Structure 1
């Protein structure tokens, strides 16, 4: 996978006159796993939605490999390789696990509505390719045996893994993960950590929001800390752990544990 650089400058977004994100700056080089941490209400999920295009900026810019994308709708950003896995299991319950993952590749296929409606050979070839890619993505997240089962029958942990498989099926260049380890058992967390480390070794750029500080600190290359919508610290995991402002605002006596 070829990662991209992501640069956020002066990003601000308010709701009802209250800023959820205010003048946030973030520069992540290709292939880095950047963690974004902070207490509840710090603006982490809002920042992800601003990068992914689910929310519009009030001010600021978002650039992908130097090109502005903040004026593009979410589906256009997805075509450029921006994929967001939001907190909470978001699945299509009446579809199988495999069909759920295949949805993630729709931006990569060249078959349009007409080829699908007429069942032209190009559509059939595209569907076979996407199904193969989807099965590989399911296998990668440990869900190969669930492929043909209804998605709604999967336990919560597997439903969260299903969302990650769907994102990977779209071959992202920038992957934003909003609390992917939340609700997972120990073994599932270890599998997720190993997968993220593998994706980083392949060059994928990732932004990770996670409340489990220990999980974050052993995976992240660098950490950005938000509090009340502003960046209060940034650095290596060791530097952030020792920052007095971060300890006061967030870490406290929760270092190394879930917060």
Structure 2
């Protein structure tokens, strides 16, 4: 596993039609840390995630990876720097096999080049073999080895979510962004996912987890950032956040409304 990276977010803001979805948001994720972002519905979690991953451009603020600004880079450039994104909605290549889907994740780390591929040079063959081996290993790590030759469309939802994670790992990321990975999963699938994410953290991978399932987050996170109406209202260790009056008020207030 590639060593983890430091993520620094400062003063991040994004408005839609004059209404701020995220405003003056900031957080720092240390190397090897699992940082979770939680908040009530409409708190701005998905917008913040997209601003960090590059799917949206910020109106203000900065995103830095190990001190380098990446907030104006497109998603593929961020991927080349080691930022891997796993979305809530399963984004798979339905007609490719599970193994081929995972191999796609290594595209940002390939070096043989277009000419070597076009001419089928030995360098291309060597690299393709290594990528295939890496992809098979990632499938095994995520419990998908038996699905390797099956079309991705045949995988159940939980397995498709795991397939996205395997694809992200195939790129040997330094920072892994997970967008509500437990959403829609059954209890057994959620447990398997939690064990996998905990294992990645223990290997030193830096992880930013945006999640609605508070119990899932409390079990895994080193630190938690809480958003409400686009602003950070709390930041700390799980026990601290759980007892924070502002956090309790935000969740209970939304529930009452």
- The TM-score range, normalised by the shorter chain, is over 0.9
Question: Where does 1:166-177 land on structure 2 (aligned, <5 Å)?
Answer: 166-177=167-178
1:74 aligns with 2:75: yes
Provide the residue aligned with 2:245 in structure 1: 244
Q: Deviations over 1:13-55 (max 9, x none)?
A: 1111111111101111111000100011111111111111111
Q: TM-score, normalized by length of structure 2?
A: 0.96
1:94 aligns with 2:95: yes
Distance 1:213 1:89 in 2: 21
Provide the residue aligned with 1:25 in structure 2: 26
CA apart distance, 1:117:
1.4
Distance 1:159 1:251 in 2: 33
Provide the residue aligned with 2:133 in structure 1: 132
Does the Cα contact within 8 Å between 1:48 and 1:84 map onto a contact in 2?
no
CA apart distance, 1:165:
0.5
CA apart distance, 1:251:
5.8
Distance 2:181 2:72 in 1: 27
Provide the residue aligned with 1:212 in structure 2: 213
Does the Cα contact within 8 Å between 2:5 and 2:206 map onto a contact in 1?
yes
Q: TM-score, normalized by length of structure 1?
A: 0.95
Does the Cα contact within 8 Å between 2:9 and 2:27 map onto a contact in 1?
yes
Please give the root-mean-square deviation of Cα atoms over the aligned residues, in Å.
1.3
Unpaired runs of 5+ residues, structure 1, are: 255-259
Provide the residue aligned with 1:59 in structure 2: 60
CA apart distance, 1:252:
7.2
CA apart distance, 1:253:
11
Provide the residue aligned with 1:146 in structure 2: 147
**Residue 58 and residue 7 in structure 1: after superposition, are their counterparts in 2 closer, same or farther (change >3 A)?**
same
Provide the residue aligned with 2:106 in structure 1: 105
CA apart distance, 1:150:
0.2
**Residue 252 and residue 198 in structure 1: after superposition, are their counterparts in 2 closer, same or farther (change >3 A)?**
farther
Provide the residue aligned with 2:13 in structure 1: 12
CA apart distance, 1:212:
1.3
Distance 2:194 2:25 in 1: 27
Return 111-120 or 92-101, whichever deviates more.
Answer: 111-120
Distance 1:111 1:250 in 2: 51
Distance 1:224 1:9 in 2: 13
Does the Cα contact within 8 Å between 2:40 and 2:254 map onto a contact in 1?
no
**Residue 91 and residue 243 in structure 1: after superposition, are their counterparts in 2 closer, same or farther (change >3 A)?**
same
Q: Deviations over 1:194-253 (max 9, x none)?
A: 111111111110011111111110110000000111101111101111111111112679
Distance 1:26 1:12 in 2: 13
Unpaired runs of 5+ residues, structure 2, are: none
Q: Secondary structure at the match of 1:246?
A: helix
Distance 1:90 1:72 in 2: 21
Q: Deviations over 1:62-103 (max 9, x none)?
A: 111111111211111101101111111110111000000101
Distance 1:47 1:111 in 2: 35
